Amino acid sequence: MGAFRFSSLHVRRNELQYKNEFTSANQTLSNIEPLLRRGEPLYIATDETRPAFFDCFRATHPRLYRWSDFFDDAGVGHGPLSGLTVPRKLIGCVEQAICAMGRRFFRTGHSTFSGYVSRLRGFVGAPDTNEYPHHKAWSRESATSPQQQPRHTGRMYFIEDPEMWTTTVGPARPKRRRSSDRTGELMAESIDEAGAALHGGATLDSPNHAA
């Protein structure tokens, strides 16, 4: 698909406790369609078990992909990834990386899985790092409105604060002296002074100190 040449979604369906975020596939498509390009390839990370659940997307986005389209075929020796087997415990991590490379990413609102995708997108310099919950109706105008983006508070652990990546990019900042640094220096001085007293004025670093 190519980096930032598709859009991605994470649609949590089964055990998520926030049932107000459950929508039909038709509703999800209607919500996000204004922010998609015509015929744009889509990748959907989901725990939905019904293979045909997202078929309504194919009318306008025929290049619709899920994990099985790449990796299930690879496991039985077919497709461009033939012979590649991803350990079960790493599947979620790989899907997060795939979603992070989308031009736009549509998330499940109360999901830490989606949250970490947002952080990865910041780290890799995605062209759009805004938050777009798929259960919310979007327009081109609302997509660029700061008022439509979540407020970041300590209790919103499922929403990544952009400072996670914006403060790690650019020129190095002067290192602020920590109180613990001075504490360590004082401890070292005390040890050195104790060594001098024990060895007749020779410090632990002195060439006259006998080991």
Whether 41 shows a pLDDT value over 70: the answer reads yes
Please give the single-letter amino acid code of residue 181.
Answer: D
Whether 176 contacts 133, CB under 8 Å: no
If you average pLDDT over residues 7-18, what whole number do you get?
85
Residue 148 pLDDT class (50, 70, 90 cuts): confident
Q: Which residue has the higher pLDDT, 196 or 74?
A: 74
Q: What's residue 157's pLDDT?
A: 67
Write the pLDDT tens digit of every residue in 55-97: 999 999 999 999 988 887 666 666 677 778 888 899 999 999 9
Furthest CA-CA distance within the chain = 88
* Residue 189 CA: distances (Å) to CA of 49, 76, 116, 197: 65, 65, 44, 12
* Residue 172 CA: distances (Å) to CA of 104, 167, 175: 29, 10, 9
Q: Is the pTM of this model over 0.85?
A: no
Contacts 24+ apart (CB under 8 A), 169-174: none
**Shortest CA distance to 31 belongs to which of 106, 117, 130?**
106
Highest-pLDDT range among 47-61, 69-83, 182-196:
47-61
Write the pLDDT tens digit of every residue in 107-116: 998 888 999 9
**Shortest CA distance to 160 belongs to which of 205, 204, 201, 126?**
126
Task: Give the H/E segment covering residue 161.
Answer: none
3-state secondary structure 54-70: CHHHHHCCCCEECHHHH
Q: Which fold has domain 7-167?
A: Rossmann fold (3.40.50)
What distance in Å separates the CA atoms of residue 188 and residue 210, rounded to the nearest whole number? 19
